[in-house]
Chain A
Amino acid sequence: MTTFSHADVPLWAAVVGSAFLLLGAGLTLIGAFGLVRLQSFYERIHAPTLGTSWGMGGMILGSIIIFTSASARPVLHEILIGVFVTVTTPVTLMMLGRAALYRDRSELNPGVPPETPDDSFATAMVERKEAPSHSEQEVVSQRP
């Protein structure tokens, strides 16, 4: 555990780190505002990524600058949070978008993009998993 007193932070580091912290928090706020204001789910799913990309990056850079300048040795473990969030956010949002698309299509809601050959291949794979009586050759021959 590392601690520092705020009087040890030099002025340039306080100013630069504060600018990065403000950038990160402001972008997160804009993303949350978009989450409230945008109209459809497929528009809203884009908004919080402001917070998970440069919102998080700005906060992490700011805290790295402030901690490193105050404790006279590199404090870099915030990078771990950055790597983790950068890797996991696309996975979660893609799964959530796929689930929403699946729900909208199964309820025949208007305004949903039509199925592409790529999607029908995925559906065929799901059906193959669900119905073990189908042999593999049958499913492959059904595919366009």
Chain B
Amino acid sequence: MNVLVLFVTLWIVQGALALAMCMCVYRMVLGPRAQDRILALDALYVSAMLQLLAFGVRTGSTVYFETALIIGMLGFVATVALAKFLMRGEVIE
């Protein structure tokens, strides 16, 4: 019973997160301006991080949390660098 509850929930959760990632990709491809694409990339990073958390619960192992943490850090650095580039035209002055 508990295994059934967990696995049905995890199917729904991973499906919802995959749909969210598809929506972010849609906005990233169609986004009218550069800032929309960067925002969609940031949201895509967050969705991918949550997808890895759900995958960690599904496999019952904690290795995936480190991966999720790395993806979160990379998303932060990428978004800050891209926003800096939009603002000033160069990343490191």
Contact = CB atoms under 8 A, between A and B. Distances in A.
Interface in A30-56: 31-33, 35-36, 41, 44-45, 47-48, 51-52, 55-56
A91 B80 contact: yes
B47 A32 contact: yes
Given A32-B23, A35-B43, A77-B62, A51 B50 contact: yes
Contacts, number: 180
Q: Chain B interface mostly helix, strand, loop or mixed? A: helix
Contact of A59 (B7, B50, B87): B50
Contacts of A36: 23, 26-27
Contacts of A75: 62
A3 interface: yes
Q: Chain A interface mostly helix, strand, loop or mixed? A: helix
Interface of A: 1-7, 9-11, 13-15, 17-18, 21-22, 24-26, 28-29, 31-33, 35-36, 41, 44-45, 47-48, 51-52, 55-56, 59-60, 62-63, 66-67, 70, 75, 77-78, 80-81, 84-85, 88, 91-93, 95-96, 98-100, 102-103
